[in-house]
Amino acid sequence: MSETGPVLATTGLTVRYGGVLANTDISIRVDKHEVVGLIGPNGAGKTTFVDAVTGFTPARGTVSVAGRRIDRLAPHQRRLAGLARTWQAGELFTDLTVRQNIAVASGRGPLHNLWSDLTGRRGSGDDVDAAMELFGLQFVADRRPGELSLGRQKIVGVARALAGPTRALLLDEPAAGLDTDESAEFGGHVRAIAASGLAVLLIDHDMNLVADVCDRVYVLDYGAVIADGTPGEVLADPAVRTAYLGSELAHD
């Protein structure tokens, strides 16, 4: 295991759905403490990439976490290797409370350290309590997801994804449907997660969130990486603007 190499790396990741080449030869890296964006027009292959990395769809190429190849492992084994994800359509159990939703996924994980790093205090409770405190959810612990704002529900989803050993976190459109303030608050949580020592890959259509939160960005179009760099660099890239032609980015 390398402590200096990337936390998450792929080389040549390729996914074919019948006649559609949904991901073509995608090589990316995300380092410790980094938030890296993965953006691209609708249908560019972003969710396919997350599915391929986490083992939910078959792919060619390699996936490594902290230098260890995990591409032959089943999804739950990749989770144990430190790869956590959220889903595009929230995955909360509507009949369970916030506490129960997080507890379902909980084991001993990084939340304890993250919580004490951020607060300078040692948690007395377990991992679930650490998650509650870290994301400010302790006041809604006994509520059900349907009673919370969408922003809170999204944060519960992230807390739940992080319950367990985590080195890299993949967020698939986590801020969809949030208003500007909620999105900014959410972005702060994402930065805090990376600051604690995780590697974060963020997929989102909200360019303000991506520009505010990401250190670097990869741009996908038709399943392939067409640009990478800082948010400023990629958003100014003519190839990226052409890929987004007709969408919001082309008009700003």
Ligand X SMILES: Nc1ncnc2c1ncn2[C@@H]1O[C@H](COP(=O)(O)OP(=O)(O)OP(=O)(O)O)[C@@H](O)[C@H]1O
Nearer to ligand X, 56 or 144 (CB): 56
- Minimum CB separation of residue 40 from ligand X in Å reads 5
Is residue 26 a contact partner of residue 224, using CB atoms and an 8 Å limit? yes
Size of the site for ligand X (CB under 6 A): 11
Is residue 48 a contact partner of residue 15, using CB atoms and an 8 Å limit? yes
- Minimum CB separation of residue 198 from ligand X in Å reads 22
Q: To which H or E segment does residue 168 belong?
A: strand 168-172
Nearer to ligand X, 26 or 130 (CB): 26
Q: Which stretch binds ligand X (CB under 6 A): 39-47, 63-71, 128-136, 188-196?
A: 39-47
Q: Which stretch binds ligand X (CB under 6 A): 40-48, 102-110, 126-134, 207-215?
A: 40-48
Burial state string for 137-173 with b = 16 or more CB within 10 A and e = fewer than 16: beebbeebbeebeebbbbbbbbbbbbbbebbbbbbbb
Site string for ligand X, 15-34 (x = CB under 6 A): --x--x-x------------
Give me the torsion for CA of 120, 124, 129, 135, rounded to 10°. Answer: -10
- Minimum CB separation of residue 57 from ligand X in Å reads 7
Helix, strand, coil distribution of the chain in percent, nearest 5: 40, 25, 40
Is residue 237 a contact partner of residue 231, using CB atoms and an 8 Å limit? no
- Minimum CB separation of residue 177 from ligand X in Å reads 14
- Minimum CB separation of residue 17 from ligand X in Å reads 3
- Minimum CB separation of residue 59 from ligand X in Å reads 12
Q: Measuring CA to CA, which residue among 28, 11, 22 is closest to residue 217?
A: 28
Nearer to ligand X, 191 or 241 (CB): 241
CA-CA distance, 143 to 139, in Å (whole number)? Answer: 9
The interface with ligand X within residues 42-61 (CB under 6 A) comprises 42-48
Question: Does 177 engage in binding with ligand X (CB under 6 A)?
Answer: no
Nearer to ligand X, 88 or 100 (CB): 88
Q: To which H or E segment does residue 10 belong?
A: strand 8-17
**Where along the sequence are the contacts to ligand X (CB under 6 A)?**
17, 20, 22, 40, 42-48
